[in-house]
Amino acid sequence: MARIVMKFGGTSMAGTERIRRVANIVRKQQAAGHEVAVVVSAMAGETDRLVNFCREANPLYDPAEYDVVVSSGEQVTSGLLALTLQAMGCKARSWLGWQLPIHTVEAHAKARIHDIDSDALLAEMGQGVIAVIPGFQGVSDDGRITTLGRGGSDTSAVAVAAAIGADRCDIYTDVDGVYTTDPRIVARARKQKYVTYEEMLELASVGAKVLQTRSVGLAMKNGVRVQVLSSFIGDDAPPADDLPGTMIVSDEEMAQITENENMERQLVTGIAHDKNEAKVILTRVPDKPGAVSHIFGPLADASINVDMIIQNVGRDKGETDVTFTVPAADLARTQAMLEDKRDSIGYNRIITDSHVAKISVVGVGMKSHAGVAATMFKALADRGINVQAISTSEIKVSVLIDEDETELAVRVLHTAYGLDAEDEAA
């Protein structure tokens, strides 16, 4: 007997038929002898609909009232899943954020969970009741509804799992696990049996949209074992207890697994790509102390997230070109701000390019192995792919390239790091 939290996203909850499929997966998990809590998202598209209503009502909306409106989507699906489970003969009930309660700090529309009362929940789960909990929502100390920000249901699931001491938190999505890279680009991409929290954090932050970054950080902090697996499985699919998806584990657990299974720890876990970056070049910026802070200070104040930065060697005496990337969605705002600050920065021209892609190589193994970056640059150079910018972290190397070369670069790197599956996938 184990205690399992299961989380289902909006695509899995979109309509009666899909909710029935979800209920069936939940029912089987309980029938395997486990205590089960389920965290659900709103039906796909519903949160967008509600957010639009808020924007139409008041472009500068009060986040407290926004939370009242948008939290209703998960309220509906949690009631419907409880009803559907009951129709299958299971004992089930919903607990809304204010009912458990899920206490959050009072930052409406971007709240953080600080505590979950789990006593009532555990008592009922011990009696065989399946607990259904709306994701994304909580309640503030002054008794108002809060929400966690878009995609917050993954975080809710991990927080509930931590609060009830769950043995596993299964995140059901529309992919069946974490792959070595996007299988739509590389047919020989392999599903990973295990990745570490740190690797998952880096992959999530560079465009592998499997899990919300925050939820991975929370799982790491609380040591919650998270499995990513598919909710679109047939009746003949292996049970979740057989770990058919990808398990997110700690570095220590990963080391243990590698040792037990007598495998070599792989250097690189995944290749991610992200086409949502844009490149900005400021030409002929004065090359003197403090000049760069005139550029990046105002951007930071406006919460524009600058990623890669390159300061070229001065081409003329006392002047340099500065290149950096921002999210493509913030490009117009960035440009307007830079034009506004033209005098204080003192550049010659702004050149922008949103036709770029960021390719990232991620792996905990590179902590202890040199040469990962060198392999990357050589493999790309051999195919004539020009690297426009580079950024690195302890377990990641990212390069900026021409967007048209995205798929080629991903395939080249996937092969270069020996990630290709032996038999081509069907």
Q: Does 16 bind its own copies (CB under 8 A)?
A: yes
Cβ proximity to its own copies, 8 vs 324, nearer residue: 8
Two tokens, residue 130 = 């399946």
Cβ proximity to its own copies, 82 vs 389, nearer residue: 82
Two tokens, residue 216 = 């991975």
178-193 b/e (C-beta count within 10 Å ≥ 16 → b): bbbbbeebbebbbbbb
Q: How far is the CB of 71 from its own copies (least distance, A)?
A: 8
The site for its own copies, by CB under 8 A, has a size of: 40
Query: Which x/- pattern over 88-117 shows residues binding its own copies (rule: CB under 8 A)?
Result: -----xx-x-xx------------------
Query: Which region, left, alpha or beta, applies to residue 189 given φ > 0 means left and ψ of -120 to 50 means alpha?
Result: beta
Query: Which x/- pattern over 126-155 shows residues binding its own copies (rule: CB under 8 A)?
Result: -----------------xxx----------
The count of residues in the chain is 426
Rounded-to-integer distance, Cα 374 and Cα 417, Å: 12
Cβ proximity to its own copies, 65 vs 330, nearer residue: 65
Query: Which x/- pattern over 50-89 shows residues binding its own copies (rule: CB under 8 A)?
Result: x--xx-xxxxxxx-xxxxxx-xx--xx-xxxxxxx-xx--
Strand order in the sheet with 319-327: 309-311, 319-327, 277-286, 350-353
Q: How far is the CB of 145 from its own copies (least distance, A)?
A: 8
Q: How far is the CB of 38 from its own copies (least distance, A)?
A: 13
Cβ proximity to its own copies, 71 vs 173, nearer residue: 71
Rounded-to-integer distance, Cα 99 and Cα 323, Å: 50
Widest distance between CA atoms in the chain: 79
Q: Does 29 bind its own copies (CB under 8 A)?
A: no
Rounded-to-integer distance, Cα 308 and Cα 131, Å: 44
- Give me the residues that bind its own copies (CB under 8 A), please: 16, 19-20, 50, 53-54, 56-62, 64-69, 71-72, 75-76, 78-84, 86-87, 93-94, 96, 98-99, 143-145
